[in-house]
A and B are shown apart, each in its own frame.
Chain A
Amino acid sequence: MFRNNYDNDAVTFSPQGRIFQVEYAQEAVKQGSVVVGLVNKTHAVLVGLKRNAEELSSYQKKIIEIDSHMAIAIAGLASDARVLSNFMKQQSLGSKMTYGRPIPLERIVTQIGDRAQTNTQHYGKRPYGVGLLVAGVDEAGPHLFEFQPSGLIHEMVACAIGARSQMARTYLERNLDKFADCSRDQLINHGLRALKETLSQDKELTVDNTSVGVIGLAPEGSKGRIESFKLYEGQETVPLLEALERSEASGTVEDESMEVDS
């Protein structure tokens, strides 16, 4: 009658040592549309592919600003992400209030990791059905973290989660060594290229379905220490998409320096 006796709750191990509910939650992440994140020495970039539920509806939000120094990209249940982002927003403002400094990314990511883990060890609870990429800048520079419903957190150089994200990860792995020293614009370009890899034949990156978020250290001599989070959506993505097109035509990743891409 039951296909599986060990997936009725999130607190029971199967004889093979698996917790099925957690794995199902991870499936929910894979159903969400893809988001890609990557960092270099100065910036962290998030790019996301937005879906609209139907022709007449608006596009979903993939990138959420947490604070001026931090943002998340989501794949999976958007409503679960809202709960997490609200929590992160509060923690971040709280840290600014008490210490007058932006909360270290590792600290806040550990906090949501702990919350997610709690959901896998208490009866009657449900794991978060969402995966996050957390990008931001703190005292130690730019960071990118991956968060999974299991509570797993990892600091990454580049990462992609969501539907068909394997294609993006392959791109990221192939070009990994180029990220660290590339420019801000090149980093965005790499992100968009990785995102494009995941598209099925009949799909294109458009101003409607592309979201780009950038955050980084401010260039020398500017007013503040950080370049606050900037979200590019709609018409603002036009120059970024044009740069992507040009770079593909020339086979290079575009920048002032015109670095050659293999």
Chain B
Amino acid sequence: MDHFPGTWGRPRNDVYGAYDPSYLQSTGPKTHTTSPAVTGTSVIGVKFNGGVVLATDNLASYGSLARFTDTKRLRIFGNKAVVGFGGDVSDMQYIDRLLESIDIRENYSSHGNMLNAKNLHTYLAKVFYKRRSEFNPLWNHVLVAGFDGEGKPFLSSADLLGTTFSAPHLATGFGAHLAVPILRRLFPEEKPIEEISREEAVDALKQCLKVLFYRDARSLDKYSIAVITQEGIDLKEDEQLEGQSWAFAERIKGYGAQTV
């Protein structure tokens, strides 16, 4: 017999597990995002002669759960630039709305849209830096692709801390470990981007996506790819990874609980 009337009818810890009382907190300091929830994995990009290619897969994970399998993580800005998002998907959607309102404002100007990819990257980095300084970060790592003020191909990265850097090929998240070495081998630094064709660049990214799908547990074989040239943006959002070969998996032994 339970002698505590206050406990009658309440879920018991031995049946339901301990209750997390932090949800009951109605007062206390204002809290911010301290970890991402629904996330996208790597973004990869490479410059070629006359443009930039950017690719992501279409997965949004909830922890280890493959939650949404057709999330478009490449966003176009004003027919001039593409932003590829890794990290929190809700923060991505917030930033996308932000960019849309800027695009609308820019188009009110009689001279048309004048913010290029470089300007957009500067702006995004400032937004990220401001939010991190308020301890209220936007949990993303993005690549911005397009052209700079002189019409040269532009590819640059910005992350939740406001850190920025630029290189002929870039990758976020897992891609920084798996894709960048492949890209560096295919397109060595001393090779000028003028010698890289569009086809080579696209093929390289597909190869990287495949390797990522093999080895990144939070990735998908459905992907988006955007080719940005002076003629415009060619965005494909419903692509399927082709030519997979899982033969190597047979030979992998000795990890974790597997003993045979």
Contact = CB atoms under 8 A, between A and B. Distances in A.
Interface of A: 97-101, 104, 106-107, 138-140, 225
B118 A139 contact: no
Interface stretch (B46-54, B58-66, B91-99, B109-117): B109-117
A107 B119 CA distance: 16
A140 B149 CA distance: 12
A100 B109 contact: no
B150 interface: yes
B126 interface: yes
Given A99-B115, A101-B149, A106 B123 contact: no
Interface string B142-171: 000000011000000000000000000000
B118 A225 contact: no
A104 B122 contact: no
Contacts of B119: 99-101
Interface of B: 109-111, 114-116, 118-120, 122-123, 126, 149-150
Contact of A101 (B109, B115, B126, B150): B115
19 contacts: A98-B122, A98-B123, A98-B126, A99-B115, A99-B119, A99-B120, A99-B123, A100-B118, A101-B115, A101-B122, A101-B149, A104-B109, A106-B109, A106-B110, A107-B109, A139-B114, A140-B111, A140-B114, A225-B149
Main SS class of interface, B = loop
B185 to A, nearest CB: 33
A14 to B, nearest CB: 34
B150 A225 contact: yes
A9 B126 CA distance: 43
Given A98-B123, A99-B122, A225-B149, 14 more contacts: A97-B126, A98-B122, A99-B119, A99-B120, A100-B122, A101-B115, A101-B119, A101-B122, A106-B110, A106-B111, A107-B109, A138-B111, A139-B111, A140-B111
Nearest to A105: B111
A104 B149 contact: no
B126 A104 contact: no
